[in-house]
Amino acid sequence: MEHVCLDLEGVLIPEIWAEVAEYTGEDQFKLTTQDLKDYSQLMDMRIDLVNSIGLSFSEIRSLVDKMEPFDGAREFIDWVRDNFQLTIVSDSFYELSWPLIRKLGTPAINCHYLNVQDNKLKGYELRQLENKKKVVQALKAMKFKVFASGDSYNDIQMLQEADLGVFFQAPMHIKEEFSDIGFVESHTELKDLLIKNSSFVGRI
């Protein structure tokens, strides 16, 4: 059996914090894991900025509620689920991502937790260190062949650990830095790649 692991933001949905940047006018919120390699540094910056401008969690959540997946993402997810096991493996948070996960048909997702108290963002709890890599390792230990795709620095370990890992619309500086990792630019290209490398598609 074959298993597909997909990043969420940048692959299936727009960047959530980019929406926060548009809402607040704070350009620092536009920084993502395509810009910073240290995820903890990125999240600490976001939380400090949220609290410094007095942004409530309900305001952030209302922005997420209005967001939509990328065109074709739901159809792509439906196809993947028809032919593979699927897990979304994200450094997002259940409390933020769930409205968009519902719009994607509620696929399984493995991500982190936010600490929200009195409508204020206080912090976060990682599921585990190197979570994306360890998810792939666990699936491989269960004898799955694993395909993976993501767009950022925090996806590198997952892509390298998978039997086949490719970037999805990653920026040029990341593709050049990790030139040994292949890439695709659309869900159609990713679908074609999965079909080409799968021994399972069409056998159900």
pLDDT tier, 39 (very low <50, low <70, confident <90, very high otherwise): confident
**Distance (Å, rounded) from C-alpha 43 to C-alpha 78?**
31
**Distance (Å, rounded) from C-alpha 91 to C-alpha 89?**
7
- CATH class of the domain defined by 2-13+72-92+106-112+128-197: alpha beta
Mean pLDDT for the stretch of residues 158-164: 98
Exactly one of 7, 15, 95, 155 is catalytic; name it: 7
Composition of the chain by helix, strand, coil, percent to 5: 45, 20, 30
Average per-residue pLDDT for the chain: 94
Angle at 173 between CA 41 and CA 50, to 5 degrees: 30
Q: Which residues pair with 184 in a beta bridge?
A: 168
**Distance (Å, rounded) from C-alpha 176 to C-alpha 108?**
31
Task: Return the closest-CA partner of residue 15 out of 61, 74, 84, 67.
Answer: 67
Element (H, E) at 32: none
pTM value is 0.93
**Cα dist. 77→8, 96, 190, 193 in Å?**
11, 19, 11, 15
pLDDT tier, 199 (very low <50, low <70, confident <90, very high otherwise): confident
**Distance (Å, rounded) from C-alpha 12 to C-alpha 160?**
20
Identify whether the C-beta of residue 15 lies closer than 8 Å to the C-beta of residue 150: no
pLDDT tens sequence across 43-97: 999 999 999 999 999 999 999 999 999 999 999 999 999 999 999 999 999 999 9
Is 7 an active-site residue? yes
What pLDDT, on a 0 to 100 scale, did the predictor assign at position 202?
57
What pLDDT, on a 0 to 100 scale, did the predictor assign at position 180?
96
pLDDT tier, 1 (very low <50, low <70, confident <90, very high otherwise): confident
Q: Where are the domains of the chain?
A: 2-13+72-92+106-112+128-197
Identify whether the C-beta of residue 96 lies closer than 8 Å to the C-beta of residue 64: yes
pLDDT tens sequence across 135-150: 999 999 999 999 999 9
